[in-house]
């Protein structure tokens, strides 16, 4: 039984930075193209927010703006009981990692916590910003598998059970962190709601979390 942070996103979920940026510049202003080029080389330049709306104009729009990303290397993987049991509890320790992006840069404080997952992940560990500030992250996750990647306007169908081919299966893995940050330049994190996608990468094994602030 795999832990939640062991799930590998399908290839089409893991879009490349280049594709993401070219999409953003096509949809956005022409003036952005210079910014996008520098972002490709540095990996921490701001991107314009994406806005989402409901079927009628009375529904408030909600925006998502890339805040930062975290590359996390997990280490030990342990289970108490099994995930099939109501008493099943997983432990996956956090070794360390990097934080990069427009609104936060730094590192995952080495050996600062773990994912203590039950039916979904429950992670507690520490970030250390480039200025030395310690930021506590409590992350909760949800995960479901669908037959194919989400497309606006199309219903999501459940993933077929093995032995059916799993090639186009999309793992929708979302993380929702609550941060506790010290007063100062990072205090905005205490009053901001975030939602992240999580994608496991191979060679070496690590997970990339892409954190968006909810506008």
CA gap 28, 7 in Å, rounded: 32
Q: Which is nearer to other proteins, 127 or 163 (CB)?
A: 127
Tell the smallest beta-carbon distance from residue 180 to other proteins (Å).
Answer: 11
**Phi, psi for residue 158 in degrees, rounded to 5:** -65, 150
Closest CA to 46 of 69, 19, 76: 69
Residues in contact with other proteins by the rule CB under 8 A: 9, 13-17, 20, 43, 50, 52-55, 59-60, 62, 64, 66, 69, 71, 73, 95-98, 100, 107, 109-111, 120, 140, 142-144, 150, 152, 156, 172, 174, 176, 178, 187, 190-193, 195-199, 201, 204, 206, 208-210, 212, 214
Q: Which two tokens stand for residue 76?
A: 């030990």
Peptide bond into 12 cis (omega under 30): no
Instruction: Report in angstroms how near the CB of residue 109 gets to other proteins at its nearest.
Output: 8
Closer to other proteins by Cβ: residue 77 or 174? 174
Task: State in angstroms the smallest separation of the CB of 64 from other proteins.
Answer: 6
Residue 82: CB atoms within 10 A of its CB come to 11
């Amino acid at each position: 039984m795999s832990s939640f942070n062991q799930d590998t996103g399908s290839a089409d979920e893991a879009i490349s930075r280049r594709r993401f940026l070219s999409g953003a510049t096509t949809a956005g202003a022409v003036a952005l193209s210079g910014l996008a080029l520098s972002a490709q080389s540095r990996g921490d330049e701001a991107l314009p927010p994406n806005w989402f709306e409901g079927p009628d104009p009375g529904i408030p729009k909600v925006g998502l703006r890339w805040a930062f990303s975290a590359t996390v290397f997990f280490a030990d993987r342990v289970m108490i009981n099994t995930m099939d049991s109501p008493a099943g509890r997983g432990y996956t320790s956090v070794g360390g990692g990097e934080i990069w992006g427009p609104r936060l840069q730094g590192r995952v404080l080495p050996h600062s916590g773990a994912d203590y997952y039950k039916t979904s992940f429950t992670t507690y560990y520490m970030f250390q910003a480039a200025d030395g500030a310690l930021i506590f992250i409590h992350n909760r996750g949800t995960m479901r598998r669908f037959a194919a990647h989400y497309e606006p306007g199309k219903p999501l169908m459940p993933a077929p059970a093995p032995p059916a081919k799993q090639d186009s299966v999309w793992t929708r893995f979302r993380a929702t962190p609550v941060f506790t940050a010290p007063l100062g330049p990072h205090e905005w994190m205490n009053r901001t709601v975030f939602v992240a996608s999580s994608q496991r990468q191979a060679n070496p094994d690590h997970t990339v979390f892409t954190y968006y602030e909810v506008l």
